[in-house]
Structure 1
Amino acid sequence: MPNEATQSSDSSKTKRRAPPCTLVIFGAGGDLTKRLLMPALYNLSADGLLDDDMQVIGVNHGARETDEWRDDLTQSLRKFAADKASTFHTSKLNDDAWNRVARSLEYFAGEFDDDATYTRLKERLEKAKSGNVVFYLAVGARFFAPIAEHLGRAGLLEQKDGAFRRLVVEKPFGTDLASAKELNRCILAHADESQVYRIDHFLGKDTVQSILAVRFANAMFEPVWRREYIDHVQITAAETIGVEGRGSFYEHTGAFRDMVPNHLFQLLGMVAMEPPNSFDAESVRDKKAEVFDAMKPLSPDDVVLGQYDAGPAGPAYREEPGVAKDSRVETYAAARVYVDNWRWAGVPFYLRTGKRLAERCTEISVQLKAVPFRLFRDTPNDALTPNVYTLRIDPAHGTTFDFNVKKPGPLVEIGAVRSSFDYGDFFAASANVGYETLLYDCMLGDATLFQRADSIETAWAVVDRVLHPDGDLPVHGYAAGSAGPEAADALLAADGRAWRALNSPTDDADQHNEEGQKT
């Protein structure tokens, strides 16, 4: 009889292939196409999930031969495989898997704002083996509305004869409430909401998707997943890198717009949502939309902004290429969010994200309330280690749970311990750059992991007052390589709480074990 691992492996092979379609990538010469979309297609091919008749048309300005584009992508992919073996099946490119993608590639020269581009593209798609088309906008945000308008005017978004036409839009989806509404208005003037897939690559991570499995597939969590038992929730997305040559982009965006109303709110939505009746797309998206609708609008007192100065990890943000010498753009953002509904009333969600921080760490920590009486008379309740359940999303993949036990010995000494689970200890590594599931689901027509227009606008409405305050919000300095500005610590301290340490899970557990209390 096959063991469980064998059965799991065999069952994964029954996953159905995506239907035949043509993937049209606007921005074929860009970094997103080279570093993420093509590796994702390669991994899907290696898993046998792409149809043999799939075609990929790369649209970009400037004349270029298909063979040249294909060779460039092949060389990039070979280097990527050697440098980042964990995102591929092996450190060496699987030629069979890549060749299945490579032979489907076709370069299509055209300007994004030229009607002639779309006329010629329509003629090309009429010759495709399948009438199914996915248009992927791997371009700058300024091109989203013009491309959608041109596609609509050319009739390229019209669905007929049972074939689908879908439009994938990258973030940022607007820069505030007004711009998000305008972008939605423009796109939905030419496509139905069911055709639009607003992508957030955070939701492509297996560990993010497992949030729903942890919550709703385990009876031990749901009874305490509410205000009666939970003190607060912390959601962290910390990076050690700086802006990495993207100073000019960051000067127009900043950490708050880049991360809070999209990535971090999406994580919050999955943590806070009510159980859906099923895992079909609309049921899940309806429940997340309810969370966003219940969020209290942020006030300036709920937000702390920071910008990294020179420190142990490198130079100041203002010294980065493309950054103004007097820039007040934030590279760090922290926020206190309340979800004003029956389950979460009074429970703060603390969000933080930043560049040039002490550790790279994306995680969600759910801290339970203290025990209600002092059984250990000489040990104050606040001296006991809080019970904290942490979902580690990146770079570590797994969970930890901190709790208290009695230390061995004749005295009643309380010691902090940690129970942990790592995905790598139980499951084979999966080749993944974060876009595989999203591309695959889009081809299948599963919109569960994609955002709807109403949720996009509601999320921007929550933060709009902070984006357009009566006066400028202060931007606090912090040393590159630190845990962030002191003002962010003060935000939680005012509530009698503190941020989780930005360090490795092992170091954190060692620290807790040294804090055992004696009674």
Structure 2
Amino acid sequence: MTGTTASLLTIFGATGDLARRMLLPSLYGLERDGLLPPSLRILGTARSELDLDGFRALVAEAVERQLPGSDRDPAALAALLRRIHYQPAALDDDASLRALCDTITALRDGGDVVCHLSTAPRWYAPVCDALGAHGLGGAGTRVMLEKPLGHDLASATAINDGVARVFDEDRVFRVDHYLGKEGVQNLLALRFGNALFEPLWNARHIEQVQITVAETVGVEGRGDYYDDSGASRDMLQNHLLQLLCLVAIEPPSRFEPTAVRNEKIKVLRSLRPIGRDEVAGETVTGQYTAGAVGGVAVPGYLDELGRASSTETFVALRAQVDNWRWKGVPFYLRTGKRMPQRCTEIYLQFRAVPHSIFDHGGAPLQPNALVIRLQPDERIELRMMHKTPGLDRNGLQLSQVALDLDMQEQFAAHRRRLAYERLYLDAIEGNGTLFVRRDETEAAWQWIDAIHDGWRHAGITPRPYPAGTWGPSRAVTLAERHGHAWRE
């Protein structure tokens, strides 16, 4: 659906960490570039008992803290602050919510409204019920829901059912901020905007796919939340599976919400289950201990948490997509905290040439590979064999070289946008292409739940790995048993 442009954006949890780090700076970026609709108003709400001046000061501080001086424009910040309104509200207080809904109705002035629920997921259904009860559940209201959407399939279904009591599916915008990243968008452009790759993008030509999301940080004050989720729920269930879908989908008929999301759900439903009989051989979990990252000593997970825990901070697995295009191609997925480097990348290794004419005892041919780096820097490398300079008296010598497209260098004149800039614009305009549909969320949870059930049944607990390493040694053998090696 592409709806009417909203006249009001309401941010629930507007004083929280996500709002300060990402949401408010993103709105400033859109304001500075003249991309916010002229009539749009922004209403922040949270439990914090701030007045309007206090909240506007918080917005200004968030922008100054997150953005370099070169990106700051006092006139743009002043224009953003003029749009800003604030009303405190306690989500567990009916009178408080009623007053908030009255303010939303007044500020929307008859136009559409987007309500961004940047709160704990347990509040999604109650807030939606309150919106509906006070006349804000109609066709002119859209809701954005932050992940994690539930803890498992049952809780995700309960949340979705609660939201669906008030809002039709085409007005529910589930956020996975990875889908707003420039590099993720470029993955679709690379696949479907170039005739070079699509004929090779299948099991006949690709031997393996690796998707890595590595973080150097620990739990960073989020210990209670993280300990309840772990790497599998925090990262695998959403970010990694969304990246897998975009790598593996069939070409959509066009770039629009229904077509793109229909293809993604087909991939999720084609994932071979990893259950009780498979988890020991196809998955590895780990938990970091004390070590060093970037030459700096860091404590272990249990030291940061302050108590015993069997929560995994690392997970690696070997997935199979059982469909015509990908049958037999392993998708190796891994994510972890306290890794040696911060990195999000997709690595596609092509099959070897069927016969080498350069077999004269020199270095063996290396397979071609495509590396799509999403962060911290965005780049695409096509790794190919190339003649090594020389007279070749003992035969032609080859080396692997990379055709390298550095996005920062190539598009230096273009500002790198925060993911929420794109997501906010799409939500304000009613475009759901980059948001996650209900059936995608529930299909992903169904697959993850089977893995968790297998771990419990087999008594699998995380293996220790020192901070600053690539996880437990068992993760290495996960790939080596099948003749592959992780890219590091």
1:317 aligns with 2:307: no
SS of structure 2 residue aligned to 1:51: coil
Measured in 2, the distance between the counterparts of 1:61 and 1:408 equals 67
Measured in 1, the distance between the counterparts of 2:434 and 2:406 equals 24
Match of 1:403 among 384, 400, 416: 384
Counterpart of 1:434 in structure 2 is 419
After TM superposition, the structure 1 stretch with the greater mean CA deviation from structure 2, 390-399 or 98-107, is: 98-107
Deviations 1:10-41 (A, max 9, x none): xxxxxxxx935111111122111111111010
8 Å CA contact retained: 2:24, 2:62? no
Measured in 2, the distance between the counterparts of 1:240 and 1:122 equals 42
1:268 aligns with 2:244: yes
Q: How does 1:363-442 map to 2 (within 5 A)?
A: 363-379=345-361, 383-411=364-392, 412-427=396-411, 428-442=413-427
Counterpart of 1:443 in structure 2 is 428
* 1:104 maps to amino acid: R
Measured in 1, the distance between the counterparts of 2:97 and 2:177 equals 28
Runs of 4+ in 1 over 4 A off after TM superposition: none
Against the structure 1 CA distance between its residues 379 and 189, is the aligned structure 2 distance closer, same or farther, given a 3 Å change threshold? farther
Deviations 1:457-508 (A, max 9, x none): 111111211122313323111111112110110110111111001xxxxxxx
1:37 aligns with 2:18: no
Match of 2:270 among 278, 291, 294: 294
1:462 aligns with 2:447: yes
Deviations 1:152-185 (A, max 9, x none): 23331212xxxx2100000001111111111111
- Report how far residue 433 of structure 1 moved: 2.3
Against the structure 1 CA distance between its residues 472 and 144, is the aligned structure 2 distance closer, same or farther, given a 3 Å change threshold? farther
Counterpart of 1:498 in structure 2 is 485
Against the structure 1 CA distance between its residues 307 and 380, is the aligned structure 2 distance closer, same or farther, given a 3 Å change threshold? farther
Counterpart of 2:463 in structure 1 is 476
SS of structure 1 residue aligned to 2:419: coil
Match of 2:309 among 321, 327, 332: 327
Measured in 1, the distance between the counterparts of 2:320 and 2:95 equals 50
Q: How does 1:202-281 map to 2 (within 5 A)?
A: 202-281=178-257
8 Å CA contact retained: 2:318, 2:330? yes
Deviations 1:132-154 (A, max 9, x none): 11011111222222212222233
Normalised by the length of structure 2, the TM-score is 0.93
- Report how far residue 319 of structure 1 moved: 0.7
* 1:41 maps to amino acid: L
Counterpart of 2:117 in structure 1 is 137
Measured in 2, the distance between the counterparts of 1:340 and 1:56 equals 46
Against the structure 1 CA distance between its residues 63 and 311, is the aligned structure 2 distance closer, same or farther, given a 3 Å change threshold? closer
Measured in 2, the distance between the counterparts of 1:38 and 1:229 equals 45
Counterpart of 2:9 in structure 1 is 23
* 2:218 maps to amino acid: G
Against the structure 1 CA distance between its residues 391 and 35, is the aligned structure 2 distance closer, same or farther, given a 3 Å change threshold? same
- Report how far residue 259 of structure 1 moved: 0.6
1:109 aligns with 2:88: yes
Measured in 2, the distance between the counterparts of 1:272 and 1:450 equals 18
Match of 1:193 among 157, 169, 172: 169
* Percentage of matched positions with identical amino acids: 40
User: How many pairs were matched up?
Assistant: 471
Match of 1:488 among 468, 475, 482: 475
SS of structure 1 residue aligned to 2:415: coil
8 Å CA contact retained: 1:125, 1:131? no
Measured in 1, the distance between the counterparts of 2:6 and 2:159 equals 30
Normalised by the length of structure 1, the TM-score is 0.88
8 Å CA contact retained: 2:7, 2:112? yes
Measured in 2, the distance between the counterparts of 1:134 and 1:398 equals 34
Counterpart of 2:145 in structure 1 is 169
Measured in 2, the distance between the counterparts of 1:339 and 1:110 equals 46
After TM superposition, the structure 1 stretch with the greater mean CA deviation from structure 2, 63-72 or 121-130, is: 121-130
8 Å CA contact retained: 1:118, 1:154? no
- Report how far residue 450 of structure 1 moved: 0.3
Counterpart of 1:181 in structure 2 is 157
Measured in 1, the distance between the counterparts of 2:230 and 2:311 equals 6
SS of structure 2 residue aligned to 1:150: helix
Measured in 2, the distance between the counterparts of 1:127 and 1:245 equals 38
Q: Which has the higher contact order (CA 8 A, sep 6+)?
A: 2
- Report how far residue 379 of structure 1 moved: 4.8
Counterpart of 2:133 in structure 1 is 153
* 1:358 maps to amino acid: P
SS of structure 1 residue aligned to 2:9: strand
8 Å CA contact retained: 1:385, 1:402? no
CA RMSD of aligned residues (A): 1.7
Deviations 1:319-349 (A, max 9, x none): 10x342x211111111111111000001010
8 Å CA contact retained: 1:307, 1:331? yes
Against the structure 1 CA distance between its residues 126 and 141, is the aligned structure 2 distance closer, same or farther, given a 3 Å change threshold? closer
Match of 1:351 among 333, 353, 374: 333
* 1:122 maps to amino acid: C
Measured in 2, the distance between the counterparts of 1:492 and 1:76 equals 43
Q: How does 1:26-65 map to 2 (within 5 A)?
A: 26-65=12-51
Could you list the runs of 5+ residues in structure 2 that have no partner in the other structure? none
- Report how far residue 270 of structure 1 moved: 0.6
Counterpart of 1:5 in structure 2 is none
